[in-house]
Structure formats: C-alpha cells, structure tokens
Amino acid sequence: MKGASFLSIALGVLSLGPLAVVAQLSGSVGPTTSTSAKRSKKVCNVLDYGAKADKRTDVGPALTKAWAACASGGIVYVPAGDYAMATWVTLNHGSGVGIQLDGIIYRTGTAGGNMIVVENSNDVEFFSSNGKGAMQGYGYEIHKSGSLSGCRLLRFVKTQDFSIHDLAFVDAPAFHVFLDQCTNGEVYNLAIRGGDHGGLDGLDVVGTNIHVHDVMVTNRDECVTVKSPSSNLLIEQIYCNWSGGCAIGSLGADTAISNVVYSKVYSVNCNQMMMIKSNGGSGTVQNVKFDSFIGHNNAYSLNVDQAWSSMSKAAGNGVQLKNITFSNWKGDCADGKRRGPIQFKCSADVPCTGMTVSDFAMWTNAGAEVDYICQNAYGSGACLKAGSGGAYSTTTKVTSAPSGWQAPKMSTDVTTSFGFTSEIPIPAIPSTFYPGTSPLKALAK
C-alpha cells in the first residue's frame, strides 16, 4: 500500500558546477488499497474455477475466470501446490485487485508471448503471502534445441499503482519480468534465476515513478535494466548474482530517460556492473546517479559504450548523455588491463557531458595494473576532461591498488553457472541483497 515514506523522496543533489543531478520519485508508489481490504471484499480461489494442483491441469482458464470475478475488487487466490500452465492469460482492466500466488506455476505450453499479462489496470498487487510462490518457465526444454523463441513469464503493461513482491521467477524461455509503460509501482523481494545465455533478461523497466528494491538476478543477460522512455526511478539493493549485469539501454532513436538512481548494487561474476549502451540513436539520458556499487570478478565495471557492436546502428548521431555521476564504487574486476574498470567510449558527434567519477576504488584479479579509458567524455574525475566539446581519446594507467578497494562478499554468491540446457531449481528469496543491509520491507513468511 502507498505510504508517506515514498512521498517526494529526494535522493540526493550532487553539484556539477552550474548544473546538478536531482533524482527522486515523483510521488507515492504501490497499490492504493491494502491487501486486507482487497481480501475482505472478495476472494476468488482458482480451485473454485476449475484449477487443480496436480501439475497437469491447465490453470490458465481458471485464472481468467477468477480474474473476471474479482477484477473490480478482491484477491485472485492460487493456493499452495503445483499447477501446470498450458495457455497464456491476459488480465485486463482490473481495479483494486490482487493476485496471491502461494503455489508454483509450471510452464507446459509452447507458445511465445507472455504467460501472464496484466494490462490497463490500477491498484494491483501480484504477490506471494508465504514467499514460496513462483513461476517455473522450464526454459531449458526449449533452449536445448538452440531456440530462444519462447515466452516471457510476467508482463505488466500500462498499469499504475501496483506492486510485485515476494516471488521467484525461474528459467524463462525468454525474458522473466517486464514492466512496460507502467507508473507508480513498487517491485521488491524477488529472486530471478535464468539460463546462462543472452536474451534472458531478468527485470526490464519502462515507466515513471517506480521503486525497485531487493531483487536478486542470476542469468547471463540484463539484471535490472532501464529502457526508454523512463523517468523518476529508484533502484536499490540489487544483487546481480552471476548475471549479465545492470544497464541502461540499448538506446535508439528518441531516447528519453531522466531522474534515475541506482544505489547499493552488488555484482559478482557478471559481464558488467553497469553499462550504458547505444549505437547511433538520438534523444537524452540525463540526471542519473550510480552510487555505492560493489563488484567482484566482473568482466566490465563502469562501461559507457556509444558504439556498442552488439546492436545495429540506430537512426541519429548519438544519444546525449549528460549530468551522470558514479560515486563510491569498490571491489575487483576480472582483468583491469584487458577490460579497464572505467570506460567512457562516448560519441565524437554527441560527447558525454557533466560526467562525474568520485570515490572510485577498484583493482584487478589478473595482472598488476588497470586502465581508465576516456573518449569524448567531459566532467571530473578519473580520465575525464574538463569542458564540454571536441573529440579526444586518452588512457590512464593505474599501477598500484587504490586504497579502500577491498569490499565484502555475500555468502550466497553463485560459484558455478546453472547452464542453459539443464533444469534450474527454484531458489529461496535471499535474506539480504547487498552486504550489511536488510530488505527495505520484510520478506513474506
């Protein structure tokens, strides 16, 4: 339920000369009525609409019927047990409704698309009351044939005043959770675990005024990623546990991203700690803060790449990146000479401006030096140049470990890949998502 603690939360102002980074949620987030109020109005148990917890009977039709009965207010209840899902559902135009998934839904259908879509709805909650609810996509069954054409697990579309929490999303054939043009949302206490392959995003966010916190992702693509258009996002206490890592992008034409904060992000054995990626394109990413990052053995650390070779070049001379800060980064990278822990590879046509790097202390696991690479990037700190224009390229070699680089590790760090063609077990939701912190909201029990 929405609370006063989320009203106009200011997350920090960092001076950048005449400019400043100001990032905040623009209002309250989450459902506008409580779970108990929804439950007291009506409960629509899927078992009363034909569902069976036998891991054989398709739960899709029962979900659709239960939603129709409770869409104007109430709780769609999936009790503890194992449910098969062979047909996908689109849940439209709900208001004051919750989906309480205390059981496990196993994919048995083979269609693409999305197993569960919630769209054009408001005051919606998708949650587990016991922390054991899950969607198991069995993506390995599709992936072992070499295909990535299967379904996503959960998609929210044009939905406002919502929450998704205390659930596990496992082994999606494609993406796991996607927020598409949503507003005033809160996403928290999630465990997402996918295959060790690209194209299996954890959590993608497109929207306005959304708080994402206490999420663990294991996969080999996006951990928690912001895509355009988005504004007023707070993303904190994120655990990228053998993942592709967090990112903004890929960015194309007419990009519009602003007022975003990533705080307390822990990344281990990932492709990157944070990447802003584009190739051509247009529009702006501005007023963004990346604070309190801890990394261990990641390929890249701070990585801005405006000629990213993994995407086709988009129309335009480049996306304007401005007023972006990186502060309080600690830990180690895999090989700081081969892939330097600071890389600003900005467009010569549209240079990065107002970049700031401060309190950055990272060292290498291989070798005894690291490179800071700056191209067409302006601001202060690291190898950045003062000013705002003109093409340049420079590499700064660091040959001794910076003070304070050593950082704590998590006892639940994944030490081996879950692969791509074998069954992935459903994980427990961890008790902490960043060293020394507790979840901002207590885990469901």
Domains and CATH numbers, the chain: 41-242 (2.160.20.10), 249-407 (2.160.20.10)
- Residues of the chain with pLDDT > 90, as a percent, come to 92
CB 347 within 8 A of CB 317: yes
pLDDT tens-place string over residues 179-206: 999 999 999 999 999 999 999 999 999 9
Residue 330 has pLDDT above 90, yes or no: yes
Catalytic residue among 165, 176, 213, 296: 296
Give the CA angle between residues 274, 168, 57 to the nearest 5°. 140
Which of the four pLDDT bands, split at 50, 70 and 90, describes residue 55? Answer: very high
Which of the four pLDDT bands, split at 50, 70 and 90, describes residue 445? Answer: confident
- Name the residue with tokens 């409960």: 43
* pLDDT at residue 437, as a whole number: 98
Mean pLDDT, the chain, integer: 94
* pLDDT at residue 9, as a whole number: 38
End-to-end CA distance of the chain: 18
Catalytic residue among 221, 291, 305, 371: 221
Residue 3 has pLDDT above 80, yes or no: no
Give the Cα separation of 289 and 356 in Å (integer). 9
Which residues is 285 bridged to in the sheet?
257, 321
Question: Quick one: which of 252, 239, 245 has its CA closest to 273?
Answer: 245
Q: Are strands 152-157 and 114-119 parallel, antiparallel or unpaired?
A: parallel
Q: Count of alpha carbons within 13 Å of 119, Cβ hemisphere only? A: 12
Question: Quick one: which of 187, 158, 166 has its CA closest to 29?
Answer: 187
Across 9-23, 148-162, 361-375, least confident range: 9-23
Which of the four pLDDT bands, split at 50, 70 and 90, describes residue 209? Answer: very high
Give the Cα separation of 303 and 371 in Å (integer). 12
* pLDDT at residue 113, as a whole number: 97
* pLDDT at residue 4, as a whole number: 35
Higher pLDDT, residue 11 or 24: 24
Q: Is 176 a catalytic residue?
A: no
* pLDDT at residue 411, as a whole number: 97
pLDDT tens-place string over residues 405-441: 999 999 999 999 899 999 999 999 999 999 999 999 9
pLDDT tens-place string over residues 95-104: 999 999 999 9
What are 8's two structure tokens? 């106009």
Which of the four pLDDT bands, split at 50, 70 and 90, describes residue 6? Answer: very low
Nearest 10 degrees: CA dihedral of 54, 109, 92, 69? Answer: -20
Q: Is 221 a catalytic residue?
A: yes
Which of the four pLDDT bands, split at 50, 70 and 90, describes residue 24? Answer: confident
Nearest 10 degrees: CA dihedral of 173, 174, 180, 185? Answer: 60
Which of the four pLDDT bands, split at 50, 70 and 90, describes residue 389? Answer: confident
Determine the longest span between alpha carbons in the chain, in angstroms: 68
CB under 8 Å to 443, separation ≥6 — which residues?
A: 131, 166, 189, 429, 431
Give the Cα separation of 60 and 105 in Å (integer). 10
Residue 62 has pLDDT above 90, yes or no: yes
What are 289's two structure tokens? 């803060």
Which of the four pLDDT bands, split at 50, 70 and 90, describes residue 49? Answer: very high
Mean pLDDT of 152-163: 98
CB 237 within 8 A of CB 433: yes
Give the Cα separation of 144 and 113 in Å (integer). 19
* pLDDT at residue 1, as a whole number: 55
Give the Cα separation of 136 and 425 in Å (integer). 9
Mean pLDDT of 252-263: 97
* pLDDT at residue 340, as a whole number: 97
Mean pLDDT of 141-169: 95
Which residues is 385 bridged to in the sheet?
378
Q: Count of alpha carbons within 13 Å of 435, Cβ hemisphere only? A: 17
* pLDDT at residue 2, as a whole number: 57
CB 241 within 8 A of CB 429: no
